Amino acid sequence: MRIVTADEMKSIEKAAFDAGMSYYDMMENAGRGIAGYVKENTKDFETKLILICAGTGNNGGDGYAAARYLKNMGGSPIIMMAGGQPKTPDAARNFELAKDMGIEIIAFEPDASQKSTAVIYGCEVIVDCVYGTGFHGQLRQNVRALFDIINDSDAVKFAADIPSGVPDSGEPAEGAVKADHTIAIQYLKRAHISALEHCGKITVIDIGI
């Protein structure tokens, strides 16, 4: 099984782009694969409320795409923004598509009295799409508050590519997401090996690169 660093994965994606595959198509394939895995590993899928926590980058974009596929598969996704609306063009495109489909999109508010906190505890499935392989350093206070609630919840937790808060070095930031399932995109990453306690069951999905 091939294991790559974050920089190596960027080079692989760039090579695929140069060969004619758009970054948007990679995101679309990742979203489809994430959604399929979540459905396959969720008992009574159609009855579950699925919370997708999306960051502002391309990992969040994967989450917006996954939400669309989950809804098309008969699921009930809700998207919670961690840090606001997407900042990358492909993620922004998927944000608009998800909104056009009528998927509810709310912002996380750290105040425990806010609706967003109740939503987290009310969901039986959570998909972590906040940070990808580019994360480093420490978690911001508001994101740490979100992850504390996620980790405290009884929901089954899926992480897209890497649990948020785990950097390429594999030394998790304090408060990083602890997933039951990690859906590695295309290849295993170095962080999967050195932070196994945060990953749960690791499965690699193919996005056509």
pLDDT at res. 37: 98
Q: pLDDT (tens digit, 0 to 9) for every residue of the chain, 209 residues total?
A: 788 888 888 899 999 999 998 999 999 999 999 999 999 999 999 999 999 999 999 999 999 999 999 999 999 999 999 988 999 999 999 999 999 999 999 999 877 557 778 899 999 999 999 998 888 888 998 899 999 999 999 999 999 999 999 988 768 999 999 999 999 999 999 888 888 889 999 999 999 88
- Beta-strand ranges (E) seen in the chain are 3-4, 49-54, 76-81, 104-107, 125-129, 156-160, 181-185, 188-189, 201-205
pLDDT at res. 112: 56
pLDDT at res. 136: 84
Cα–Cα separations (whole angstroms), residue 112 to 107, 143, 159, 194: 13, 14, 24, 33
pLDDT at res. 149: 94
Domains of the chain: 3-205 (3.40.50.10260)
pLDDT at res. 83: 87
